[in-house]
Amino acid sequence: MSGNRDMTGSGDGATNAMWGGRFADGPSAIMREINASIPFDKALWRQDIAASKAHVAMLGTQGIVSAEDAATISAGLDQVAAEYERDGVPENWDLEDIHMTTEARLAELVGPAAGRLHTARSRNDQVATDFRLWVRDAFDQMDEGLAALQRALVTRAGEHADSIMPGFTHLQTAQPVTLGHHLMAYFEMFRRDRARIADARARMNECPLGSAALAGTGFPIDREMTAAALGFDGPTANSLDAVSDRDFALDFLWCCSSAALHLSRLAEELILWASQPFGFIRLPDSLSTGSSIMPQKKNPDAAELVRGHAGRVIGSLTSLMITMKGLPLAYSKDMQDDKPPVFEAAGLMGLSIAAMAGMIAGSTFNTTRMRAAAELGYATATDLADWLVREAGIPFREAHHITGSAVKLAESRGIALDQLPLDDLKAIDTRIDERVYAALSVDASVAARASHGGTAPDQVRLQVERARAMLGMEE
């Protein structure tokens, strides 16, 4: 959007006519270029047409414009929309933005009646409404994408509720977990991302249309009517606030950033798992690339780009926060720069979510390799300490020390804990007996973690069942 100058006449397409009689001379070439937002805000054309149709319908109902003019304008807007759909939005920089572009074309189609469309509104409330409508749609699209990703995670988690792999802290083997449990951790992250989306979408669903430039209007408009027509819960309560803030766009970018962080973490794990030293996963060929010089390479480029896109998404949030941080009420031209970061982030998120869903659904997991890694990493050391506490009545700190000695001995021999002879274990502490071996296998370890939300296969299956119900997935 450009400034807060109202369009009051249909004009002939020149910037002077659109600005009205206040300016004798047209803008300089520099001003024309810096002022034009049509190259990016043309993306709002569907929302601009919808809001204009709602506005003119209300004007006609209220008797502010004649029923004949309202019908003429509405039909003209339909024709403009059909042209945009067919041919795209033309970029005439003299018309500055999507709002002037649409009204200028409308005037060519229906004549002077087009000039009545802008009665009782400003480009300030017009763009605030259009942008809210666009962001609301973007919220819905992101939510749908995350739901598809969740379905992929839940499906694969159900397949691998019993598949054992090492769980890591500090990227060091910590305790054995199941692959299903690991995948369900990301389901939970994206569940919270979707909850943030729902919360932000509900909060933003108020209609600015009718706030005019900043102070409302003297025409007898019906803001409830336009709000309902556009699917809002109601009109905004304060006209000054309605045209001044972009916190709904910041909420959107925060939701994007949060989900992008989770996508990036999952992408990083897939990248590690696909590397030869790990060998846990084979990514689908359709989301991998080769090397221009090394024929053996299969690069996880899609995952790397998801990881990289997270930085750009977070940068978009930072950009708009800095744009808005020092603006006085109401509208300032700085706010023209609100849309590019939002448009960029939405596009990046759509690609990233789709790519990640494809990788999760299409990957092959090497569960044999995963299990072997869990068995070699002394991942059941905690289980030995827990056994000493539970069966021998030893304080945990003492049990921790005893277990460390056992791990050191097994490591020196290059064997797993459950391969240490009983005599060697008893030499470390006489309170250890043959029952300990039942606790030292990776299978016993994961089975023992049966607390709510734990990694035991039965718990994972419960998590999967709950998630499938939440997503409405058929059995």
Residues 436/384, Cβ–Cβ less than 8 Å: yes
**Which positions ≥6 away from 260 have C-beta within 8 Å?**
309, 310, 313, 314, 348, 349, 352
Distance separating alpha carbons of residues 360 and 348, to the nearest angstrom: 18
Say whether 211 is catalytic.
no
Distance separating alpha carbons of residues 444 and 229, to the nearest angstrom: 60
Of the residues 170, 286, 292, 451, which is catalytic? Answer: 170
**Cα separation values, 417 from 69, 169, 365, 381, 382, Å:** 85, 20, 26, 8, 11
Residues 34/27, Cβ–Cβ less than 8 Å: no
Q: Hey, what amino acid is at 11? A: G
- Say which residue the tokens 């509405």 belong to: 74
Distance separating alpha carbons of residues 337 and 323, to the nearest angstrom: 8
Distance separating alpha carbons of residues 303 and 222, to the nearest angstrom: 50
Q: Hey, what amino acid is at 344? A: E
Of the residues 28, 66, 275, 291, which is catalytic? Answer: 291
Distance separating alpha carbons of residues 302 and 288, to the nearest angstrom: 6
Assigned token pair, 454: 């734990």
Closest residue by Cα to residue 41 from 340, 417, 302, 268:
340
* Helices 179-204, 123-159: crossing angle, 10 deg rounding: 160
Assigned token pair, 363: 């990957």
Say whether 291 is catalytic.
yes
- Say which residue the tokens 């060091």 belong to: 172
The residues that are catalytic are 170, 291
